[in-house]
Chains A and B, each alone.
Chain A
Amino acid sequence: MAGETVNLVGEVMRFIDITPKAAFSMAGLGFLGGMLSGFIGSGGAFIMTPGMMALGVPGIAAVSSNLAHKFGKAMVGARKHSKMGNVDARLGIFMVAFLLIGVKLAVFLNEYIFNSMGKAGSNLYISLVFVVLLSGLSIFILRDIFKPNHKNGLAKPTGLAEKLTKINIPPMINFKVANVRVSLWFVAIIGLATGWLAGTVGVGGFIGVPAMIYVLGIPTMVAAGTELFLAIFSGAFGAFNYALNGFVDIRLVLLLYLGSLLGLHIGANATKMVSELQIKFVMAVVIGMSAVSRAFAIPKYLVDLQMANFSEGVARVLDLAATVTLYGGAIIGVMMIVRYIIRFKQDHKADTQCSVKVP
Chain B
Amino acid sequence: MTKASKSSSIATIIYLGLSICAYLLIFFNIEQLNQFFLSKAVIPAFCLLGTVIGIAFLYGTAISHVLSILGLESNH
B63 on interface, CB distance cutoff 8 Å: yes
With both chains docked as a complex, state the minimum distance between the C-beta of B52 and any C-beta of chain A, in angstroms: 4
- Are A71 and B75 touching (Cβ within 8 A)? no
Task: Say whether, besides A240-B49, A264-B76, A246 and B60 are in contact (CB < 8 Å).
Answer: no
Task: Say whether, besides A10-B38, A250-B34, A265-B76, A76 and B51 are in contact (CB < 8 Å).
Answer: no
**B22-46: contact bitstring with A at CB < 8 Å (1 yes, 0 no)?**
0100110010011001111110111
Question: How many of A's residues come within 8 Å of B, CB to CB?
Answer: 36
A68 on interface, CB distance cutoff 8 Å: yes
With both chains docked as a complex, state the minimum distance between the C-beta of A278 and any C-beta of chain B, in angstroms: 18
A248 on interface, CB distance cutoff 8 Å: yes
Task: Say whether, besides A254-B55, A261-B59, A261-B63, A246 and B76 are in contact (CB < 8 Å).
Answer: no
- Are A239 and B49 touching (Cβ within 8 A)? yes
Give the residues from 36 to 78 in chain A that come closer than 8 angstroms, CB to CB, to chain B: 38, 68-69, 71-73, 75-77
Give the residues from 249 to 275 in chain A that come closer than 8 angstroms, CB to CB, to chain B: 250-251, 253-254, 257-258, 261-262, 264-266, 268-269
Task: Say whether, besides A240-B45, A268-B76, A250 and B59 are in contact (CB < 8 Å).
Answer: no
A13 on interface, CB distance cutoff 8 Å: yes
**B56-76: contact bitstring with A at CB < 8 Å (1 yes, 0 no)?**
110110011001000011111
A244 on interface, CB distance cutoff 8 Å: yes
Task: Say whether, besides A257-B59, A258-B59, A38 and B52 are in contact (CB < 8 Å).
Answer: no
B18 on interface, CB distance cutoff 8 Å: no
Task: Say whether, besides A13-B38, A76-B57, A258-B59, A243 and B48 are in contact (CB < 8 Å).
Answer: yes
- Are B51 and A250 touching (Cβ within 8 A)? yes
A244's closest neighbor in chain B, by CB? Answer: B45
A235's closest neighbor in chain B, by CB? Answer: B49
With both chains docked as a complex, state the minimum distance between the C-beta of B1 and any C-beta of chain A, in angstroms: 24
- For this complex, 19 residue pairs linking A to B, each with C-beta atoms less than 8 Å apart, are A10-B38, A10-B39, A10-B40, A71-B52, A76-B56, A76-B60, A77-B76, A236-B49, A243-B44, A250-B48, A254-B27, A257-B59, A258-B23, A261-B59, A262-B67, A264-B74, A265-B67, A265-B74, A268-B74
**Other CB < 8 Å A-B pairs besides A38-B74, A72-B49, 16 of them?**
A10-B38, A12-B38, A68-B48, A71-B52, A71-B53, A75-B56, A236-B49, A239-B52, A240-B46, A243-B37, A250-B33, A250-B34, A261-B56, A265-B63, A269-B67, A269-B73
The chain A residues found within 8 Å of chain B, CB to CB, are: 9-13, 38, 68-69, 71-73, 75-77, 80, 236, 239-240, 243-246, 248, 250-251, 253-254, 257-258, 261-262, 264-266, 268-269
The chain B residues found within 8 Å of chain A, CB to CB, are: 23, 26-27, 30, 33-34, 37-42, 44-46, 48-49, 51-53, 55-57, 59-60, 63-64, 67, 72-76
